[in-house]
Amino acid sequence: MTKIIPKKKIKRRKIMFSFESSDAKEVILMGDFNNWNPKKHPMKKDVDGKWTKAVILPPGQYEYKFLVDGQWKEDPQSERNCPNKFGTYNNVFNLTKR
Neighbours of 15 (CB within 10 A): 15
3 pLDDT exceeds 80?
Answer: no
Q: Render pLDDT for 32-76 as a digit per residue (tens, 0 to 9).
A: 999 999 999 999 999 999 999 999 999 999 999 999 999 999 999
Neighbours of 47 (CB within 10 A): 6
pTM of this structure: 0.86
11 pLDDT exceeds 90?
Answer: no
Sorted by where each begins, the domain ranges of the chain are 13-95
CATH of domain 13-95: 2.60.40.10
Cα 53 to Cα 1, 16, 66, 86, 91: the distances in Å are 48, 6, 11, 25, 16
Could you tell me if 29 and 17 are in contact, meaning their C-beta atoms sit under 8 angstroms apart? yes
How many whole angstroms separate alpha carbon 87 and alpha carbon 78? 19
Could you tell me if 42 and 78 are in contact, meaning their C-beta atoms sit under 8 angstroms apart? no
